[in-house]
Amino acid sequence: MSYFDILVYVWIALALGTFVSLFWVTAPFGRHTSDSWGPTINARLAWCLMEIPSPLVLSIFLFSSTTTPTTPVWIFWGLWMVHYINRSFIYPLRQRDVKKRMPVMIMGSAIFFNLMNGGINGYFLGYLATHDQTWLSDPRFIIGLSLFIIGMVINWQSDNILLNLRKPGETGYKIPHGGFFRYISCPNLFGEVIEWFGFALMIFSLPALSFALWTFANLVPRALAHHQWYLKKFENYPSQRKAVFPFLW
């Protein structure tokens, strides 16, 4: 086992620990924002600053390699860029509540995560990936790509519903409807979990799997916290909705 593999396994172990801890501590941003976590920063700016390191570091590792990327590797890189361009720039700029704040501590922890995650996956793609043209017809690539696209569509559709709940200048929260909100409280998070497990299957690598596990570890407890928040805030909240996985949880 290489030192790189050991690093990734340690990273996965940290994800499992984070998963357990987030059932006890809800990250204080968005609807759960709290001033008790220290200084805050404008949430729009925070989203940009904390998400952009991931595509930058991934690209640095990929393009610093002397190996010419194959077509599958270009596809992996391109999908990563599409996700993070949306998350770093498009999504923050579409947020209606321009006064919303985020604790600097949360932004800092997200920067650390994205540096690690982008670095681990970028190193793999730049220096260890062996995917050639035949990988494009491999069932793992085809199924994984399909899941990634499905997850991305669910994520974007759900974000769009949430972002359009408020009129310009309006604050506060409303019950979202439409799309996968018929079944779960957090289809945006559900879509992202599907997205990165699809990515992990598409690449079939330990670093990509670590990202999928981190996504699950971060988003599932957050979805459960959102669900409980909705139930407490709205007396007429749809009782048949689950938190994050339709008909299950």
What pLDDT shows up at residue 116?
A: 98
1 class by beta-carbon count within 10 Å (0-12 exposed, 13-18 middle, 19+ buried): exposed
What pLDDT shows up at residue 33?
A: 67
Q: Mind listing the pLDDT tens digit for each residue in 157-200?
A: 999 999 998 776 667 788 999 999 999 999 999 999 999 999 99
pTM strictly above 0.75: yes
What pLDDT shows up at residue 100?
A: 85
Q: Which residues in the chain come in under a pLDDT of 70?
A: 33-34, 168-170
CA–CA separation, 204 and 92 (whole Å): 31
What pLDDT shows up at residue 244?
A: 95
What pLDDT shows up at residue 47?
A: 94
Q: Mind listing the pLDDT tens digit for each residue in 129-138?
A: 999 999 999 9
Domain ranges of the chain: 3-168+176-233
CA–CA separation, 195 and 154 (whole Å): 9
